[in-house]
Structure 1
């Protein structure tokens, strides 16, 4: 077993659930709790030990959830049920989650002091989350959404990229933004 330390950020729904889930799974592997998210108890583990493993795993999962996200699951004692319930809530391709993610992408704006690399990376994460929910945008629309996330001080760059062009690609916009910075 490794002595590696994992810094898992508390999941409050503002971050990327899939990344959070992968980090918690890393903690499970380190602690030997990864078996707890399996639906069936392994034959070589006794009933009492299985309950303890599940309680510890549930506690570990909840310890990385913000209070608002943890509250509905405080009574759950089986890690696989808790794990699946969280996936259903945050990864499910339902209309509510799609709307939430679309709002995050469409309201996304540049934060002063942020590097352009960080801004583009955050934009791409939001777009990837939507793609994982089977929501797609054309490359041109993605380029325009990224441009619209910028402050007015980038307006001359927008004009340069769009003047005389019917289409602009996300790659062109990203390249121009990296060069501008």
Structure 2
């Protein structure tokens, strides 16, 4: 039997818990242990008590193996996978007002620097939105679209105007698609420009090569 190995970082206080949680749940699902996260009472009724206990112990141990020492020492008393999962959420996904305010400040103050990487900017934006959703903070799709457009530098002003004046409603997905399309077009233009420049240099070099050839013929004669 082939043993599957999943590369999931150890959970610590610097780890993005919402993403770690998704990966950890996926691993448990691959091992047919994700039902343990629901608690023994919600596992399949057809399973025996012994089978439920076995699955719960295995799920518990798999989660333990993906925790850093500083997190593990805070949850060692939890005896079931469901209780451990809930405890981790309480530790790593605090929903207090201070955390919410911090993330909201990050969202509204996020600005892409002129000449910066669009993909990195989008990645940071999506990360903030995901963390806010994990704290049950949700924004209207159109509001998020406008916040993202406002975070772009002045070089995107024409792009922003085109997006805003070409439709009555706007979704975040539409803005993402338009930005990715603009980025691809910029790469194409840049590649074509480099190619044209190379061809120009080559053409410019030909007369010099021709004159040099004539000079060699005169010296040989």
TM-score normalised per structure 1 = 0.62
Structure 1 unmatched runs, 5+: none
Distance, in Å, in 1 between the alignment partners of 2:70 and 2:104 is 22
- Matched residue pairs, number? 174
Relative to structure 1, the CA distance from residue 88 to residue 108 in structure 2 (aligned partners, 3 Å threshold; closer, same or farther) is same
Q: 2:18 touches 2:134 (CA, 8 Å); kept in 1?
A: no
Q: Choose which of 48, 61, 69 in structure 2 pairs with 1:43.
A: 48
Secondary structure at the aligned position of 1:45 is classed as: helix
Q: Does the alignment pair 1:156 with 2:159?
A: no
Structure 2 unmatched runs, 5+: 42-46, 184-221
Q: 1:62 touches 1:70 (CA, 8 Å); kept in 2?
A: yes
Distance, in Å, in 2 between the alignment partners of 1:143 and 1:6 is 35
**Structure with bigger RCO (C-alpha 8 Å, 6+ apart):** 1
Secondary structure at the aligned position of 2:78 is classed as: coil
Q: Which residue of 2 aligns with 1:19?
A: 19
Matches within 5 A, 1:73-88: 73-88=75-90
Deviations 1:96-132 (A, max 9, x none): 4433432443454559998534532442343244245
Look at both structures and tell me which one has the larger radius of gyration over its CA atoms. 2
Distance, in Å, in 2 between the alignment partners of 1:113 and 1:10 is 35
Distance, in Å, in 1 between the alignment partners of 2:115 and 2:77 is 43
The Cα of 1:83 is off from its aligned counterpart by: 0.9
Deviations 1:108-157 (A, max 9, x none): 4559998534532442343244245443334554244324545xxx3231
